[in-house]
Chain A
């Protein structure tokens, strides 16, 4: 089984994010960087499939030099090899541009299964996995909470609004992750040592025969949302008094009930 994981390095979810001076991106100097939380599920699931079926897990990512840390973490978890596309031209790309690059890398790997996070928690585009699948001509099953492979068939349980659907398809497919799919493992010390020796191939767009796709989505400005501040502390000496005052305020002042 040839398994590919699409991975992205993002600021950790507890980071304070500051818009940068150019207004079109954020300040990155003091951020802590991690694997996109949903991609951790993808790495874990890929390793589990390989453990059950044999094969290879390849991590594919686009990023700057520091993205190597995220790749090494995934290799330390148990992935076999990685491809990092590191090219300044990728910095200005939108989701469709990124998908074009990822698809170019992945098509060379002839995967049976691609696993991607449902979304990256930085730009929150929810676009790249579907666009990669489209470029590779394979079906995309998103928000998967469980999968089973039998021969060349995959059966996935995915969340839909108000329920769960079970979907079957013929490999190759691309699936995206959801919480509940698995519990990602930590990289062991032994895994970290091993990861240093695993193959990591760094590519430029020219190695892929690609010219950068112009972004059709343009960020003009970034700002913080309006600050929320502490409002009223509800007075009262008993829970009943406090509840009465809260309900009164919600009804009369906030007009929310």
Chain B
């Protein structure tokens, strides 16, 4: 099937991840451009709800590898199953959402299949028959246009860059019946953070705190985040102080976020922090130092003490919400 495109969907707590839906949508656009068909592979356990969701975004075929042995990501067996599906269906392109799991899986597949890979892509365009992909390098200080030669071409899309476009299809369903290899790894334990907040890299809104928080008490920021349905991030300084977990760090050596709205509280705007949030659509800075570098890059700058400004924002937003 030379004109097959494959998207691999990832499931989080029973539902298809937003970044996976974006990957499926981009895969659909590629399939439409080359007159091909779109297969969506989902790995994990209890995948019916996720499969139904994938079908709303234009899948022609759904392939479910639904098995307790795949419930948690293990690189060798997940990539074994995905490689088997790829070798059977020979897709031209494979699209995967950029999550911790997605990046790891994509790297394994690239290595196993000797397939070219473009990680963390933020855009694409056609030049004739060639798909030109844009991806950040050097902590986002440079955008590179790249092309991939060979098959399949693996594209990992960063969250919030590829629009999710619903497209109803009558997807046929295939259950993966192939071999699930033995893993060389054993999962001994999994600890989940009990958080109702969205994942940092996928969130529409991120509220971050820096050294200006002055201590581990982030409650004022958390309150604002919860009111907005936002994720909480942190600068490296706040992480180094032990105020926030490493997984909250935004920046060149932390996570890269691209929300619709980024609110930086008590963050100076060092180049390494900026590298992690510069692709946010709207940036708000709250800082008591009018000379803080972050103001040179923020769409809206508030000079003031965050411990006064943020509670006042919470009050205003609460009022706004009750008026709606």
The answer to whether A binds B is: yes
> Interface residues, chain A, CB within 8 Å of chain B?
11, 13-17, 19, 26, 37-38, 94-96, 99, 121-127, 129-131, 133-135, 138-143, 145, 155, 159-170, 178-180, 216-225, 228-234, 239-240, 242-244, 246-247, 249-251, 254, 256-257
Residue of A11, A124, A140 contacting most chain B CB atoms (<10 Å): A124
Give the distance to chain B from A19, nearest Cβ to Cβ, in Å.
6
With A127-B117, A233-B303 known to touch, is A239 a contact of B312 (CB < 8 Å)?
Answer: yes
Interface membership of chain B positions 88-119, coded 1 if the CB is closer than 8 angstroms to chain A and 0 otherwise: 00000000000111011011101110111111
Q: Is the CB of A257 within 8 A of B312?
A: no
Set B76, B145, B149, B247: member contacting A159, Cβ < 8 A: B247
- CB contacts (< 8 Å) of B141 on chain A: these are 15-17, 224-225
Complex CA gap A145/B138 in Å reads 24
Does B27 make an interface contact (CB < 8 A)? no
Q: Is the CB of B137 within 8 A of A167?
A: no
Complex CA gap A52/B239 in Å reads 28
- How many A-B pairs with Cβ below 8 Å? 256
The 15 sampled A-B contact pairs (Cβ below 8 Å) are: A13-B271, A13-B272, A96-B116, A127-B110, A134-B108, A134-B111, A160-B190, A179-B249, A219-B146, A220-B145, A220-B147, A228-B297, A230-B295, A243-B312, A257-B205
Q: Is the CB of B108 within 8 A of A247?
A: no
Residue of B nearest to A249 (CB): B300
Complex CA gap A219/B116 in Å reads 12
Set A140, A162, A218: member contacting B12, Cβ < 8 A: A162
Set A141, A216, A231, A242: member contacting B309, Cβ < 8 A: A242
Interface membership of chain B positions 78-93, coded 1 if the CB is closer than 8 angstroms to chain A and 0 otherwise: 0000000000000000
- CB contacts (< 8 Å) of A231 on chain B: these are 283, 298-301
- CB contacts (< 8 Å) of B184 on chain A: these are 138-139, 169-170
Complex CA gap A242/B288 in Å reads 13
Interface membership of chain B positions 270-309, coded 1 if the CB is closer than 8 angstroms to chain A and 0 otherwise: 1110010011011110000000000111111111110011
Set B142, B270, B302: member contacting A223, Cβ < 8 A: B142
Complex CA gap A167/B278 in Å reads 34
Give the distance to chain A from B120, nearest Cβ to Cβ, in Å.
6
Q: Is the CB of B111 within 8 A of A130?
A: yes
Residue of A nearest to B105 (CB): A130
Range, interface on chain B: 35 or more
Q: Is the CB of A246 within 8 A of B302?
A: yes
Complex CA gap A124/B122 in Å reads 13
Q: Is the CB of B300 within 8 A of A232?
A: yes
Give the distance to chain A from B130, nearest Cβ to Cβ, in Å.
9
Main secondary structure of the interface of B (DSSP, over half): mixed
- CB contacts (< 8 Å) of A230 on chain B: these are 295-298, 301
Residue of B nearest to A239 (CB): B308
Q: Is the CB of B246 within 8 A of A243?
A: no
Complex CA gap A19/B138 in Å reads 11
Residue of A nearest to B230 (CB): A257
- CB contacts (< 8 Å) of B101 on chain A: these are 160-161
Interface membership of chain B positions 60-85, coded 1 if the CB is closer than 8 angstroms to chain A and 0 otherwise: 00000000000011011000000000
- CB contacts (< 8 Å) of A143 on chain B: these are 100
Q: Is the CB of A124 within 8 A of B99?
A: no
Residue of A nearest to B12 (CB): A161
Complex CA gap A126/B119 in Å reads 7
Complex CA gap A208/B115 in Å reads 23
Complex CA gap A127/B316 in Å reads 46
Q: Is the CB of B302 within 8 A of A242?
A: yes
With A169-B186, A225-B278 known to touch, is A17 a contact of B142 (CB < 8 Å)?
Answer: yes
Give the distance to chain A from B134, nearest Cβ to Cβ, in Å.
9
Give the distance to chain A from B244, nearest Cβ to Cβ, in Å.
11
Interface membership of chain B positions 128-139, coded 1 if the CB is closer than 8 angstroms to chain A and 0 otherwise: 000010011111
Complex CA gap A17/B187 in Å reads 41
Q: Is the CB of A161 within 8 A of B132?
A: no
Q: Is the CB of B315 within 8 A of A243?
A: yes
Set B146, B205, B315: member contacting A220, Cβ < 8 A: B146
- CB contacts (< 8 Å) of A99 on chain B: these are 111
Q: Is the CB of B281 within 8 A of A256?
A: yes
Complex CA gap A256/B281 in Å reads 9
Q: Is the CB of B189 within 8 A of A165?
A: yes
Q: Is the CB of B205 within 8 A of A19?
A: no
Give the distance to chain B from A140, nearest Cβ to Cβ, in Å.
6
Complex CA gap A148/B26 in Å reads 42
Which of B42-50, B51-59, B167-175, B191-199 lies on the face that meets chain A?
A: B191-199
Q: Is the CB of A165 within 8 A of B190?
A: yes
Set A15, A124, A169, A250: member contacting B185, Cβ < 8 A: A169
Complex CA gap A19/B145 in Å reads 12
Q: Is the CB of A217 within 8 A of B142?
A: no
Residue of B nearest to A137 (CB): B184
Residue of A nearest to B114 (CB): A96
Q: Is the CB of B313 within 8 A of A247?
A: yes
- CB contacts (< 8 Å) of A221 on chain B: these are 144-145
Residue of B nearest to A225 (CB): B143
Residue of A nearest to B271 (CB): A14
Complex CA gap A20/B103 in Å reads 28
Residue of B nearest to A99 (CB): B111
7 new A-B contacts, CB < 8 A, other than A221-B144, A222-B142, A242-B312, are A13-B271, A19-B142, A134-B111, A168-B188, A170-B184, A250-B300, A256-B261
